[in-house]
Chains A and B, each alone.
Chain A
Amino acid sequence: GAGVSQSPSNKVTEKGKDVELRCDPISGHTALYWYRQSLGQGLEFLIYFQGNSAPDKSGLPSDRFSAERTGGSVSTLTIQRTQQEDSAVYLCASSLLFADTQYFGPGTRLTVL
């Protein structure tokens, strides 16, 4: 079946612009997670959505970052007023149940010039 998909695969933007990154989870998965991976680094947790509960935003690095999940499916991660240090690969994952096995998408590589 279809896995987790993310778009765009690559995004180049100028410092100060806003960007939106999209994640389509596996159909039927109730939980969705966003991570950030800087070059050669590990996975930095950003935010997760669990069913209809309020999202856990504890990993968001600043108030420039926000995310929403509409209709319990597609999620959008928005970064406002991008900075060069925001350059990284942004990974999305979903799981059937919360805190269960996570399946990752291919990521969006964000470059802020």
Chain B
Amino acid sequence: GENVEQHPSTLSVQEGDSAVIKCTYSDSASNYFPWYKQELGKGPQLIIDIRSNVGEKKDQRIAVTLNKTAKHFSLHITETQPEDSAVYFCAAIESGNTPLVFGKGTRLSVIA
């Protein structure tokens, strides 16, 4: 089955700097890669996703890149703000076949 590893487990950045979170997956058949943000006391919320037919996707200050050959994908947050502080989860799936497999999460702290 799929296995997703996520690094780092914690990340502190200064406000305005960039943050990068990386995930690797094991199943080459995986073709859908969402990222979730979980704020304290809330459920995870989808922030961006990418499918295997594209290499990069951007939405304002966040972007995700995918390298299918190396089987890794990354979340990039630019111009970080204190409200970006949260736990971020990556996930991978072979769409239509199995439930999402999540990484263990990255706790991002943006220091003002």
Residues of A at the B interface (CB closer than 8 Å) are 4, 33, 41-43, 45, 48, 56, 91, 93, 97-107
Contact = CB atoms under 8 A, between A and B. Distances in A.
27 contacts: A33-B99, A41-B105, A42-B102, A42-B103, A42-B104, A42-B105, A43-B89, A45-B99, A45-B101, A45-B102, A48-B99, A56-B99, A97-B96, A99-B32, A99-B93, A99-B100, A101-B34, A101-B46, A102-B46, A103-B46, A104-B36, A104-B43, A105-B43, A106-B41, A106-B42, A107-B42, A107-B43
B98 A99 contact: yes
B15 interface: no
Contacts of A98: 96
B84 interface: no
A42 B46 contact: no
A93 B49 CA distance: 16
B36 A99 contact: no
A102 B100 contact: yes
Contacts, number: 49
A93 B99 CA distance: 11
Interface of B: 32, 34, 36, 41-46, 49, 89, 93-105
A99 B44 contact: no
B46 A99 contact: no
Q: Which of A41, A43, A106 has the most CB of B within 10 A?
A: A43
A43 B99 CA distance: 12
